[in-house]
Amino acid sequence: MTGRTDLRRKPERAVDDRDAIHDVLDEGLMAHVGLVAGTGDQAHPVVIPMLYARDGERLILHGSPASRLLRTAKGGVDVCVTVTLLDALVLARSGLHHSMNYRSIVIMGRATEVIDHAEKVAALDRLVEHTIPGRTSQVRAAHDIEVTGTTVLTLPLAECSLKVRTGGPVDDPDDVDDPAWAGLIPIGVAVGEPIPDNAASSQTVPGHVAFWARGPGQLNGRPAPDGETT
Amino acid sequence: MTGRTDLRRKPERAVDDRDAIHDVLDEGLMAHVGLVAGTGDQAHPVVIPMLYARDGERLILHGSPASRLLRTAKGGVDVCVTVTLLDALVLARSGLHHSMNYRSIVIMGRATEVIDHAEKVAALDRLVEHTIPGRTSQVRAAHDIEVTGTTVLTLPLAECSLKVRTGGPVDDPDDVDDPAWAGLIPIGVAVGEPIPDNAASSQTVPGHVAFWARGPGQLNGRPAPDGETT
C-alpha cells in the first residue's frame, strides 16, 4: 500500500490483508472504473461500470477497442477501480449516525494492454469464470477474431486499499434511551429463478446455473449444492 | 427521417427519459463518485462509494468537511457520479456474448455546497429517507452542531445519461444449436432478517424496517406491507 490509497479518513476502517482484499474482489460482480478524460481545462472525471476479474495480484478488464475508456487507459493513463459490497443498512437513533456496513476496494494504477493471444484467451476465460464459476467448460472456445477484436487490460493490485465497516449503530450517549428501533438490516445479492431461452437444451438447468450465488447464503435464498439451505 | 429529428418531434420521450432516470436513482443505494485529484502530472482519478439522494432534478451528497473528496468538490471541481443497478446475469453460448442486464446512470457536472441551515437539514433528511423511507419521523431532529459539522453538496441532473440492457442472450447464429444452457439469472437486492441492537425499544420491529425492500419484490423475499409476498 502506498500513499495515494492510504486512508486519510477513518483509518481504523482500513484492512491491510491480501486475503481479505482478494475475497472482496472475488465476491464482487461489478467495478466502477474512473479515469481522467480530456486535458488541461477540459480534464474531467469519467466513471464507468465494468465487469472485471481477479487473476492473482492483478485485475482484468476488457471491452471493445472502440470504448473510450479502454482506448484512453491503453495509452497509459492512470485509472482508479473501485469495487463496493454492501452488507447492511445501519439504523441509529439520529439521522447522521445512520450508516452502511460495507467492504470497498480502491485500486489505483496504470492499466496495460495484454497483447499475447494465449494470455488474452486466458484472461477472457477468467472474466467468465469470475462471474459464473464453472461456465467456461460449458461454452465453445473463443474464435480468434473475437479475441483479436477485444481489448484486454490488466491492472496490478499493488496500490490497493480495503475499507470495511462492520457492527451495529454507534449512537450518541444522550440518544440511547430514545424509543427509535436501532440495529441492522442485512442486505446482499438476491438470486431469482433462472430464465432459460427457448432452446431445448436450456430447459434443464445445470448446476453452475441452479446453484449460482454470491455472498452470504442465508440472504440469497438459493439452494446449496449439498442440499442444505445455508 | 433520422433518429435525431424523431426525438425532436417527440418531446414526450424526454419526459419518459426523466422518469426512467428518476426511477433508477430512487432505486439505487450507493453512488460511485469520481473526481480528478492532484494537478498537472500528478492528476489522477479517484472513485469513492457514497450514499446519495435525489431531490427533484438534483443529487445530494454529504460527508465530513475533512473528506478529501467533498473538500475538493466544494472547490468547484467537476465530478462524475455513477449509479448502477444489476438486474441479471446474461448467459450465452460463447464467452464473449456473456453480459449483464443493468441500468446505469452517469451524471457529470460541478457540485456546489449547500450553506443555508434549513436547506441543509432538509437535504440530510432526504438522504435518510432515500435509503430508508419513513425513517426521519422515527428519529430525533439533527442538532445544529451536527448540521454545521457536515458538508452537503448538490449536483444538478442536467448532464445525465441512462444506459440500459434488457432481454436475453444474443448468440452468434452458428452457436444457437450448441448444447450450453443459455438465458438469464435474475439478481437484485436480498434482505435479511433485521438484527436489533440490545435496547428494549428495538425488540419490536416497526413497519419501515420490517418491510424495507429495494427493487423487484419477487427477488428480495421480504413480506409486502399488505401481507402478500409479491
- Mind listing the pLDDT tens digit for each residue in B96-121? 999 999 999 999 999 989 999 999 99
Cβ contact, residue pair A139, B178, below 8 Å: yes
B9 min Cα distance to partner chain A (Å): 30
Q: What is the pLDDT of residue B42?
A: 84
**Reported confidence tier of residue A154, pLDDT bands at 50, 70, 90:** very high
* ipTM given for this complex: 0.91
Q: Give the pTM.
A: 0.90
- Cβ neighbours of residue B170 closer than 8 Å, sequence gap 6 or more: B92, B97
pLDDT confidence bin for B63, thresholds 50/70/90: confident
C-alpha cell of residue A192: 431469482
- Given an 8 Å threshold on Cβ–Cβ distance, is B124 in contact with A95? yes
Residue A55: pLDDT band by 50, 70, 90 thresholds?
very high
Half-sphere exposure of residue B162, counting CA atoms within 13 Å on the CB side? 17
Q: Which of B43, B49, B89 sits opposite A43 (nearest CB)?
A: B43
Percent of chain B's residues with pLDDT above 70: 86
CA distances from A69 to A34, A199, B4, B173 (A): 9, 36, 25, 30
Contacts of B88 in chain A (CB under 8 A): 192, 195
Q: Do A181 and B138 touch (CB under 8 A)?
A: yes
Residues of chain B with Cβ-Cβ distance to A219 below 8 Å are: 190-192
Mind telling me how many Å the CA of A118 is from chain B's nearest CA? Answer: 15
Out of B89, B178, B190, whose CB is closest to A188?
B190
Mean pLDDT of chain A: 88
pLDDT exceeds cutoff 80 at A221: no
- The whole-angstrom separation of Cα B135 and Cα B191 is 17
Q: Number of A to B CB contacts under 8 A, please give it.
A: 296
Q: Mean pLDDT throughout A174-192? A: 95
pLDDT band for position B13 (50/70/90)? very low
Q: How far apart are CA A140 and CA A128, in angstroms?
A: 12
Mean pLDDT score, B21-30: 97
Contacting residues of B for A186, CB less than 8 Å apart: 191-195
Cβ-Cβ contacts under 8 Å, A132 against chain B: 89, 91, 98, 185
Q: Under a CB-based contact definition with an 8 Å cutoff, are residues B176 and B113 in contact?
A: no
Q: Would the CB atoms of A47 and B106 count as touching at under 8 Å? A: yes
A80: which chain B residues are within 8 Å (Cβ-Cβ)? 34, 44-47
Contacts of A143 in chain B (CB under 8 A): 94
For residue A161, give the chain B residue with the closest CA.
Answer: B48
Confidence of residue A10 (pLDDT cuts 50, 70, 90): low
Q: Would you say how long chain A is, in residues?
A: 230
Question: Which of A93-106 are b and which e, b meaning 16 or more Cβ less than 10 Å from the residue's Cβ?
Answer: bbbbbbbbbbbbbb
Instruction: List, in order of start, the domains of chain A with CATH numbers.
Output: 3-169+181-187 (2.30.110.10), 190-223 (no CATH)
Distance from the Cα of A152 to chain B's closest Cα (Å) equals 12
Inform me whether the pLDDT recorded for A217 exceeds 70. no
